[in-house]
Amino acid sequence: MVKKRAISADERGDVETENRTGGSYLKKKKMMKKNLQRLGGKGLSLEAFANAKTRSNDYNPSLIKKQKEFYKNAKFVNKYKRMVKQQGEHGDSSVAKRASEKQTEPVEADDADRKWKSKRNKPHSLNELYMKKREEEEKARMEREAIIEAKKEERQRAEVRRKELRQKMFKKTKSGQPVMRYRIEHLLQTIEGSNS
What domain range is 99 assigned to? 69-122
Cα–Cα dist 173/79, whole Å: 76
Average pLDDT, the chain: 77
Report CA 192 to chain centroid distance, whole Å. Answer: 50
Going by C-alpha positions, the residue among 173, 177, 193 that lies closest to residue 185 is 193
User: pLDDT tens digits, residue range 73-86?
Assistant: 999 999 999 999 88
> Following CA atoms 168, 169, 172, 176 in sequence, which dihedral angle do they give, to the nearest 10 degrees?
-170
> Is the residue at 58 inside a domain?
no
> Is the residue at 86 inside a domain?
yes
> Is the residue at 7 inside a domain?
no
Q: Are 138 and 130 in contact (CB under 8 A)?
A: no
Q: What is the pLDDT of residue 62?
A: 84
> Is the residue at 137 inside a domain?
no
> Is the residue at 114 inside a domain?
yes
Q: What is the pLDDT of residue 29?
A: 83
> Is the residue at 190 inside a domain?
no
Question: How many Cβ atoms sit within 10 Å of the Cβ of residue 25?
Answer: 11
Q: What is the pLDDT of residue 138?
A: 95
Structural domain count of the chain: 1
